[in-house]
Amino acid sequence: MTTLSFALNHMTAPALPLDEFFALATSLGISAVEIRNDLAGNAIIDGTPAAAVKALAEKHGQTIISINALQRFNEWTNERASEAQDLITYALECGAHALVLVPVNDGSGQKDGERQANLQQALTALKPMLEKAGITGLVEPLGFEMCSLRSKTEAVEGIRAIGGEGTFKVVHDTFHHHLAGEEKIHPEMTGLVHISGVADPGVAVDDMRDPHRILVDATDRLDNAGQVRKLQDSGYSGLFSFEPFSPEVHQSADIKAAVGKSMSYLSATV
């Protein structure tokens, strides 16, 4: 059995208020959490002050590893800069270590040359903002065909091109890694791993979407266990954060038992 360092993304139980979500993580023996800015009726979107989030995390012994996320980060505008600064400030004040950066995912900005230029423009602008706050930027390529940044290799090349190795890392998302069909991993540049599985035997890989993403078990089609093993064997020693989007998971009668079962499966299988 392998000892894996798990984290919990609020998307695992999005209906839980932050206090209860942190308590859930603690009850599972997890001490690292990701909070989000896209959950209606919940922090951060409901206006919960950063100081209140920090106090709740401290109450439950939780480390906030990231805020998820600055959307469309590689479409840099004045509006995006303002949004980024607000999230970076919130991260600093709530004690979060990183800000997840999600690329444009609507079919635009995909042309070769344009993609790389947009990425470097955004990274160049974000670098001093993140450095001033001491916050890491976690670039998360998405495997969807319509995404403007599908490749972790391209993300790493962009980071290196602007000398951003000390400021930025990439997210290895097991779902998006599978969809992108990208063999290469970058353990030395990986700051976080998101894990979720797909079990539905009837959905083609190109048709897989967020609602298909469940907790990883023996029915997984994405080879999470193999991906985790490869990352560890290559030197990655960071966190593996559960990020299931499926309504089936969100409506679980016992989410603690469900997550615990997935933790046990992965620990025994990797």
Q: Tell me if 159 is assigned to some domain.
A: yes
Total domains, the chain: 1
Q: Tell me if 184 is assigned to some domain.
A: yes
105-108: long-range pairs with CB below 8 Å, 24+: 105/142, 105/144, 105/146, 105/147, 105/148, 106/146, 107/146, 108/75, 108/148
Q: Tell me if 13 is assigned to some domain.
A: yes
The pLDDT assigned to 248 comes to 96
Return the SS3 of 99.
strand
Q: Tell me if 78 is assigned to some domain.
A: yes
pLDDT digits (tens, 9 = 90+) for 82-93: 999 999 999 999
Q: Tell me if 162 is assigned to some domain.
A: yes
pTM: predicted TM-score of the whole model, two decimal places:
0.97
Q: Tell me if 169 is assigned to some domain.
A: yes
pLDDT digits (tens, 9 = 90+) for 145-197: 999 999 999 999 999 999 999 999 999 999 999 999 999 999 999 999 999 99
Q: Rounded CA gap, 217 and 243, in Å? A: 14
Domain that holds residue 250: 6-269
Q: Tell me if 1 is assigned to some domain.
A: no
List the chain residues with pLDDT less than 50: none
The pLDDT assigned to 1 comes to 61
Q: Rounded CA gap, 177 and 193, in Å? A: 10
Q: Tell me if 171 is assigned to some domain.
A: yes
Q: And the tokens for 201? A: 């035997």
Q: Rounded to 5 degrees, what are φ and ψ at 44?
A: -100, -15
CATH of the domain at 110: 3.20.20.150
